[in-house]
Amino acid sequence: MPHRPMSREQQWLLPPSLDEVVPADHPARFVAEFIDALDRDSWADMGIDLDGDPLGAPAYHPRALLSVWVYGFMTGVRSSRKLEAACREQLPYLWLTGCQTPDHITLWRFYAAHRAGMRHLFTRTVRTAMAMQLVDLAVQAVDGTKVGANVAGARTYDAAGLRRLLGRVERAIDELEAQHAAGDGPAAARLPAALADRRRLQAQVRAAVDTLQAPAAPKQINLTDPDARLMKTRRGLRPAYNAQAMVAPVERRGDGSGRLITAVAVVDAPGDAAQLEPMLAHAEAATGGPADLTLADAGYHSGAALAACARRGQRVAMPEAQARALQQPYHKDRFTYDAASDSYRCPAGQRLRFTRRKRTRGVPMRLYRVSGAVCRACPAFGICTTDGRHGRGLEIGPHEAVLRRHRAWMATREAQHAYQQRQHLVEPVFGIIKAQLRARRFLLRGLANVKAEWALLATAFNLRTLWRLWRAPPTKPDRWDAAMTTAGAPA
Ligand code: SF4
């Protein structure tokens, strides 16, 4: 087979334009269309001045800089230095910027100044999907994933560790100050670098000690990122954040399907239990209405969460962590409540009467008991209870009724069938964000900054979903322009 002629010195009479070499269905074009559809109010919401300053040297247009960041997040490029290189070398970036090449400092300053406001873009992706009727809100699923903090785990200390570190630093400072004072030459205008470093560390450690002494403070703190917490991850106990996402299926007949993130949050607590109601509220605000059914894993289960869902009128399919205990013949649920006498009847027909109020892990409880003598005489003694002195006790919390109702519903085939969708709906989203968008750890530090980073990652994920549908041949007249333009209106 003959070789094709090839020359690197080829001169073009009519050189191809960038517009010709970027395919019509390229994701960069979708990003540009999405950014170009932003109205003045949207730019103002993000705190970006679209008109620029009449004085001084011309600055890069915010549309170019925002497009670069959004397209970078979509393709797993989140570092300003890598984006600078991409703007010089990669055709989609050159097309997005109109062949301009902002350096990493310009890119970073733009991102640092506006990253919190960029959350507006996330809401806009959700509203674009709603305007295109891609999400019907029949079902949604919530979950959390641990995303590593951008710190070394070795810099995490408890109170005792901080005291030991402080002692070492203060001894080092004393030695350096003694050497500094014993020097023969004239006093230097600045402290030696080693001494300045130790003093900085001393101030950092003292601030960390104060933080750990505050009420409800964590048991450990990381000196590099004091907001990060030690959390159980697949790689062991690491400083991390708990990143939450609510996900709804996206379906367009004949044009493909996918998933859309409808709400995001990042918290510094490892547990998910308190996150269900805020996530429901965020999703409702973004989509403009509640979903018919929400799926959540056992980590979100609590009486308070179920009561909040009941107040909001939202159905939730969510198993309990202690599901095996429910099978026991003398589980609390086998005791029936009699409102007239405010007492419970046990499986053996004995009455447990209200004894007193108490608090268990801060939750107010009502304690019901039957006498020890009655239980000792019962054939179930040793199985139902081993407390022969006080007899069986039942601790009833404020959400007992809603817990029992939910347990009964979760036992139905309908609830179990619905719950099976959860894993396939939400977990692939975290897989894509971590593997394809390369976000196994945050690049920024501090809770406020990682919140902005997570929101932009969710924006990038949603744009990938929307782009796949945008480029697919439509089965009916396309309304993308109108959807992207009207997405700025309140839902
Ligand atoms: S052990 Fe006590 S509470 Fe349990 S079934 Fe027997 S009588 Fe009822």
- Whether residue 4 lies inside any domain: the answer is no
* Residue 185, CA distances (Å) to 151, 179, 181, 195, 249 in order: 40, 12, 10, 17, 73
Total domains in the fold of the chain: 4
pLDDT tens by residue, 11-50: 888 888 888 889 999 999 999 999 999 999 999 989 998 8
Secondary structure, 3-state, 420-441: CHHHHHHHHHHHHHHHCCCCCE
Residue 467: predicted pLDDT: 94
Q: Is 381 touching ligand 1 by the criterion CB < 6 Å?
A: yes
Centroid of ligand 1 to alpha carbon of 346 (angstroms): 6
Q: Which atom of ligand 1 is nearest to the CA of 347?
A: 5
Distance CA 214, CA 187 (A): 40
Residues 131 and 174 in one domain: no
Residues 257 and 312 in one domain: yes
Q: Which atom of ligand 1 is nearest to the CA of 379?
A: 6
Q: Is 291 touching ligand 1 by the criterion CB < 6 Å?
A: no
Residues 203 and 213 in one domain: yes
Distance CA 217, CA 212 (A): 5
DSSP alpha helices (H): ranges in 273-329? 276-287, 303-312
Burial (CB < 10 A; 0-12, 13-18, 19+), residue 86, is buried
Q: Is 378 touching ligand 1 by the criterion CB < 6 Å?
A: yes
Centroid of ligand 1 to alpha carbon of 364 (angstroms): 24
Secondary structure, 3-state, 225-247: CCCCEEEEECCEEEEEEEEEEEE
Centroid of ligand 1 to alpha carbon of 357 (angstroms): 21
Largest CA distance in the chain: 104
Residue with the smallest CA separation from ligand 1 atom 7 is: 375
Closest CA to 314 of 306, 323, 322: 306
Residues 34 and 157 in one domain: no
- Whether residue 351 lies inside any domain: the answer is yes
Residues 311 and 441 in one domain: yes
Q: Is 397 touching ligand 1 by the criterion CB < 6 Å?
A: no
Q: In the structure encoding, which two tokens stand for residue 193, read together?
A: 């670098």
Centroid of ligand 1 to alpha carbon of 301 (angstroms): 28
Domain boundary among 367, 401, 435: 401
Query: In one letter, which amino acid is 170?
Result: E
Residues 239 and 309 in one domain: yes
Centroid of ligand 1 to alpha carbon of 349 (angstroms): 8
Residues 370 and 396 in one domain: yes
Q: Which atom of ligand 1 is nearest to the CA of 391?
A: 2
Residue with the smallest CA separation from ligand 1 atom 5 is: 348
Most ligand 1 atoms within 8 A of CB, residue of 328, 353, 370 to mutate: 370
- Whether residue 278 lies inside any domain: the answer is yes
**Are the C-beta atoms of residues 433 and 461 closer than 8 Å to each other?**
yes
The number of beta carbons lying within 10 Å of the beta carbon of residue 282 is 19
- Whether residue 407 lies inside any domain: the answer is no
Most ligand 1 atoms within 8 A of CB, residue of 343, 346, 355, 387 to mutate: 346
Residues 313 and 349 in one domain: no
Q: Is 374 touching ligand 1 by the criterion CB < 6 Å?
A: yes
293-295 and 315-317 as β-strands: parallel, antiparallel, unpaired?
parallel
Containing H/E element for 324?
none
* Residue 115, CA distances (Å) to 26, 107, 121, 149, 489 in order: 25, 11, 10, 18, 21
- Whether residue 3 lies inside any domain: the answer is no
**Are the C-beta atoms of residues 218 and 204 closer than 8 Å to each other?**
no
Residues 391 and 476 in one domain: no
pLDDT tens by residue, 405-417: 999 999 999 999 9
Centroid of ligand 1 to alpha carbon of 356 (angstroms): 19
Distance CA 408, CA 77 (A): 48
What value does the CA radius of gyration of the chain take, rounded to a whole number of Å?
30
Residue with the smallest CA separation from ligand 1 atom 4 is: 384
Q: Which atom of ligand 1 is nearest to the CA of 349?
A: 8
- Whether residue 29 lies inside any domain: the answer is yes
**Are the C-beta atoms of residues 147 and 241 closer than 8 Å to each other?**
yes
Distance CA 391, CA 372 (A): 4
Q: In the structure encoding, which two tokens stand for residue 71, read together?
A: 């397209």
Residues 258 and 349 in one domain: no
Q: In the structure encoding, which two tokens stand for residue 142, read together?
A: 């919530």
Q: Which atom of ligand 1 is nearest to the CA of 381?
A: 1
Q: Is 348 touching ligand 1 by the criterion CB < 6 Å?
A: yes
CATH of the domain at 253: 3.30.420.10
Containing H/E element for 468?
helix 447-471
Range of the domain at 210: 153-222
Domain boundary among 222, 241, 260: 222
Q: Is 370 touching ligand 1 by the criterion CB < 6 Å?
A: yes
Give the contacts of 45 (CB within 8 A, at least 6 positions apart). 117, 120
Most ligand 1 atoms within 8 A of CB, residue of 334, 351, 384 to mutate: 384
Residues 31 and 128 in one domain: no
Supply the angle between the helices 104-114 and 80-89 in degrees, to the nearest 10.
Answer: 130
Give the contacts of 437 (CB within 8 A, at least 6 positions apart). 73, 74, 76, 457, 460, 461
Q: In the structure encoding, which two tokens stand for residue 486, read together?
A: 């009207």
- Whether residue 27 lies inside any domain: the answer is yes
Residue 268 sits at the vertex; the CA angle it makes with 263 and 271, to the nearest 5 degrees, is 80
Query: What string of pLDDT tens digits covers the 491 residues of the chain?
Result: 889 888 888 888 888 888 888 999 999 999 999 999 999 999 998 999 888 777 888 889 999 999 999 999 999 999 999 999 999 999 999 999 999 999 999 999 999 999 999 999 999 999 999 998 888 889 999 999 999 999 998 899 988 998 998 889 888 888 888 877 776 555 555 667 778 888 888 888 888 888 888 888 888 899 999 999 999 988 889 999 999 999 999 987 655 578 999 999 999 999 998 999 999 999 999 999 999 999 999 999 999 999 999 999 999 999 988 777 888 889 998 999 999 999 999 999 999 999 999 998 888 999 999 999 999 999 999 999 999 999 999 999 999 999 999 999 999 999 999 999 998 999 999 999 999 999 999 999 999 999 999 999 999 999 999 999 888 766 666 677 777 877 766 55
Residue with the smallest CA separation from ligand 1 atom 2 is: 375
Segments of 328-485 assigned E as strands: 336-338, 343-345, 351-360, 363-369, 393-396
Residues 104 and 237 in one domain: no
Centroid of ligand 1 to alpha carbon of 383 (angstroms): 9
Distance CA 83, CA 320 (A): 45
Q: Is 394 touching ligand 1 by the criterion CB < 6 Å?
A: no
Distance CA 321, CA 299 (A): 7
Q: Is 392 touching ligand 1 by the criterion CB < 6 Å?
A: yes
Residue 79: φ, ψ to 5°: -95, 140
DSSP alpha helices (H): ranges in 118-158? 119-131
- Whether residue 31 lies inside any domain: the answer is yes
Q: Is 375 touching ligand 1 by the criterion CB < 6 Å?
A: yes
Q: Which atom of ligand 1 is nearest to the CA of 383?
A: 1
Domain boundary among 401, 429, 463: 401
